[in-house]
Amino acid sequence: MNKNTILTLDEIHNLAMQVLSTHGFSTAQADSIAKTVTAAERDGCRSHGLFRIPFYVDALKNPSANAQAEPILSVTDSSVVHVDALRGFCPLALRTGLPALSEKARLHGTAALAIHNTYNIAALWPEVESLAVQGLVAFAFTTANAYVAPAGGQSPLYGTNPMAFAFPRKDQPPLVFDQASSASARGEIQLHLREGKLLPDGWAIDREGNPTNDPQAALDGAQLPFGGYKGAALALMVELLAGALIGDNFSVESTEQDAYGVGAPLGGELLLAIDPAHFGSGNYLERSEYLFEQVLAQPGTRLPSQRRYDTRREHETHGVDIDNVLLAELREFLD
């Protein structure tokens, strides 16, 4: 018996739509989530692919989550655009706000989009990539669940708090990175637990604040930021930008409010976009290629997002191997 089934990207999208629609998501919410999930499978990011669909459904156990929300866009003369997600999910809020963000960035040179009041369990690279495909430089920041200890501390306070960045490229998909400010993803620790493996040094501390290699002790304790105090400073920056500045939850508040333990944090996301046309460097695309060539001239290097784009080409042509256990689980969600 095969362990996997090959699905086309359309089949992945349709399956996600079916499950979400069956569980009460509006067509717009379901479609935007399904597109995000499909993009993740396309690029080989399994943990944000179909695997994530049950988490979206579970999030509805929290009665405040709104699977029918129609996000509200607010645009003024300012270069700051707001979207109130009305406790719906982030992909539709982004779809609602990104065109206005692009427009403001082109008009003023720099612009920001604040997404408020959203359940966000997706990666950040799709939105920064989509902005850079349009020729903009983009940043995104979001809080998460409180799993990470501050530098020198003992207890979870910060989220894994990703920061994503994208820079346009000439005749190629953009340069993109999307990286947690924690040393590892939470899912990697859970995977070590399941496989009975010890954690690498530097990933986590136990409840007493001592370094641990035991995955269960790590899950009961706290994750560590990457790169020590410098990663912790980035985690704090993300809390300030996507929490305090835009008036949304800190990670620790999202976790406190998750009374149903479904793991979908309610909070905000901040995006910044920059239009290179306002900087007067006519050859910035050629200039960045020159730098990338120098990176790649060194053996053993690759550019951020390069592996994802390689997988994308492969999956667009040949479809994606989906685990049959996951498929069976998703089909149960259709009953």
What is residue 141's three-state secondary structure?
strand
Nearer to a second copy, 94 or 320 (CB): 94
Task: Report the DSSP beta bridge partners of residue 204.
Answer: 212, 223
Binding mask 195-234 for a second copy (x = CB under 8 A): --------------x----------------xxxxxx-x-
Q: Least Å distance between CB 225 and a second copy?
A: 8
Query: How many C-beta atoms lie closer than 10 Å to residue 209's C-beta?
Result: 14
Nearer to a second copy, 26 or 110 (CB): 110
Task: Please say whether the beta carbons of 134 and 285 come within 8 A.
Answer: no
Contact window for a second copy (CB under 8 A) among 79-87, 92-100, 118-126, 307-315 = 79-87
- The site for a second copy, by CB under 8 A, has a size of 67
Strand order in the sheet with 72-74: 72-74, 80-84, 110-119, 266-274, 137-142, 163-169, 172-179
Residues catalogued as catalytic: 47-48, 188
Q: Does residue 250 touch a second copy according to CB under 8 A? A: yes
Q: Least Å distance between CB 148 and a second copy?
A: 12
Tokens read off for 74? 């607010």
Q: Least Å distance between CB 249 and a second copy?
A: 10
Q: Does residue 240 touch a second copy according to CB under 8 A? A: yes
Q: Least Å distance between CB 280 and a second copy?
A: 6
What distances in angstroms separate CA 193 from CA 146, 169, 216, 268, 302, one per listed residue? 20, 40, 7, 30, 30
Contact window for a second copy (CB under 8 A) among 30-38, 176-184, 186-194, 256-264 = 176-184
172-175-180 Cα angle (round to 5): 150
Residues in Cβ contact with 166 at an 8 Å cutoff, skipping those fewer than 6 apart: 125, 128, 129, 131, 132, 137, 138, 174, 175, 176
Dihedrals φ, ψ of 204, to 5°? -160, 165
Cα 33–chain centre separation: 12
Q: Least Å distance between CB 185 and a second copy?
A: 12
Tokens read off for 283? 């050859």
Q: Least Å distance between CB 13 and a second copy?
A: 30
Q: Does residue 2 touch a second copy according to CB under 8 A? A: no
Q: CA 139, CA 234: separation in Å to the nearest integer?
A: 13
Binding residue for a second copy, selected from 6, 295, 325, 334, defined by CB under 8 A = 295
Binding residue for a second copy, selected from 18, 72, 86, 109, defined by CB under 8 A = 109
Q: Does residue 129 touch a second copy according to CB under 8 A? A: no
Residues in Cβ contact with 225 at an 8 Å cutoff, skipping those fewer than 6 apart: 148, 149, 151, 158, 181, 182, 183, 231, 232, 234, 235
Binding mask 36-75 for a second copy (x = CB under 8 A): ----------------------------------------
Q: CA 144, CA 163: separation in Å to the nearest integer?
A: 11
**Residues at the contact surface with a second copy, assessed by CB under 8 A:** 78-80, 82, 108-112, 114, 137, 149-155, 157, 165, 167, 175, 177, 179, 183, 209, 226-231, 233, 236-237, 239-241, 243-247, 250, 252, 272, 274, 276, 278-281, 283-284, 287-288, 290-291, 294-295, 298-304
